[in-house]
């Protein structure tokens, strides 16, 4: 066991004070491979159209990984933290699929900003979205006139989705 521990220390170092360029490079390579594997296991949505729920995990994940690479955090403890976060992410996602109340709690809900061509100012204030932001979202969906809109929603991802009048 001591040989394994010593080999691990020589290859990956122990702290930021004694890391060589090669040890930090080895840490980066090992963390990269492990991070790719964990993200691949994290389902397709993990880094695609992310909700704040998904972005929080990505930010914390990146923070821990950077500390592990630079030696500011213990290598195995950092990996343990990353794996724990991914397990919690999976667990929260699984609970969200089965319980809509929990989903709304951790992921939020969409808000109707436009109904039958009319902006809902109160809902826009609650969503903290300006008329300019709404119009930009509509233009990105190919809509230039509110009269064309049956319904526009601010989705949980922060994007505006539009249903046109038929």
Could you report the per-residue pLDDT of 60-89, keeping only the tens digit for each?
888 998 988 888 888 888 888 988 988 888
Packing angle, helices 2-12 and 21-41, rounded to 10:
100
CA distances from 75 to 21, 72, 86, 145 (A): 16, 9, 17, 55
Residue 135 corresponds to which tokens in the numbers above? 């119009």
Calculate ∠ Cα 98-100-104, nearest 5°: 135
Cβ burial of 128 (10 Å; 0-12, 13-18, 19+) is exposed
Q: Do residues 38 and 83 touch, judged by C-beta distance below 8 A?
A: yes
Per residue in 79-117, pLDDT tens?
889 889 888 888 888 898 899 888 888 778 889 999 999
Q: Do residues 111 and 155 touch, judged by C-beta distance below 8 A?
A: no
Residue 62 corresponds to which tokens in the numbers above? 């990146």
pLDDT band per the 50, 70, 90 thresholds, residue 119: very high
Dihedral class, residue 65 (left if φ above 0, else alpha if ψ from -120 to 50, else beta): alpha
The CATH class for the domain spanning 110-164 reads: alpha beta
Which pTM was predicted? Answer: 0.64
Q: Where in the chain is the domain with CATH 3.30.240.20?
A: 110-164
For residue 151, pLDDT over 90 is answered with: yes
In this prediction, residue 153 carries a pLDDT of: 93
The total number of residues shown for the chain amounts to 166
Helices (H) and strands (E) in the chain, counts: 7, 4
Average pLDDT on 156-166 reads 86
Identify which has the larger pLDDT, 78 or 7: 78
């Amino acid at each position: 066991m001591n040989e394994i521990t010593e080999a691990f220390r020589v290859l990956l170092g122990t702290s930021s004070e004694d890391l060589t360029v090669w040890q930090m490079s080895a840490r980066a390579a090992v963390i990269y491979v492990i991070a790719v594997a964990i993200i691949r296991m994290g389902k397709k949505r993990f880094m695609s159209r992310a909700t704040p729920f998904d972005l929080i995990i990505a930010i914390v994940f990146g923070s821990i990984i950077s500390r592990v690479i630079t030696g500011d955090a213990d290598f195995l403890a950092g990996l343990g933290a990353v794996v724990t976060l991914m397990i919690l992410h999976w667990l929260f996602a699984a609970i969200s699929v089965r319980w809509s109340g929990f989903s709304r709690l951790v992921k939020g809900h969409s808000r109707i900003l436009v109904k039958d061509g009319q902006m809902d100012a109160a809902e826009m204030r609650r969503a903290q979205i300006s008329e300019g932001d709404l119009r930009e979202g509509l233009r990105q969906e190919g809509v230039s006139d509110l009269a064309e809109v049956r319904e526009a929603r601010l989705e949980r991802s922060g994007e505006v989705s539009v249903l046109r009048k038929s």
